[in-house]
Amino acid sequence: MIVNDLDIDAVKAGLAAGSILIVDVREPHEFAAGRIPGSLSRPLSQFDPADLPNEPGKRLVLSCAAGVRSLRAMEFAQSAGLDVDSHYSGGFKDWVMHGEPVER
């Protein structure tokens, strides 16, 4: 499996440049409680690689609470033949810990 671990600086830079799309694989109640602004919800419990968004010019970056579920989702996506190789290794907990804005 090909894995690009992104840190908060890479995620913030990608979001600011509009070059990445965050796909949050936490469960719906977690997503509803707070999320990285602009992120999309694709819960791991119902994860289907075919449901991943395809926005030309944007790299998909998987995210969860702390980087474990996003790796599982990446494994599923790559097994389905998709070019998804990046995740936010610190996840939502890292985002909050750095005092970044949260959407609800």
Residue of 61, 64, 65, 84 with catalytic role? 64
Instruction: Look up 64 and say whether it is catalytic.
Output: yes
Rounded CA separation 2/42 (Å): 21
| Residue (of 77, 81, 91) closest to 5 by Cα position | 91
Q: Helix or strand or coil: residue 74?
A: helix
CA distance 59 to 36: 16
CB 29 within 8 A of CB 56: no
- Catalytic residue IDs: 64
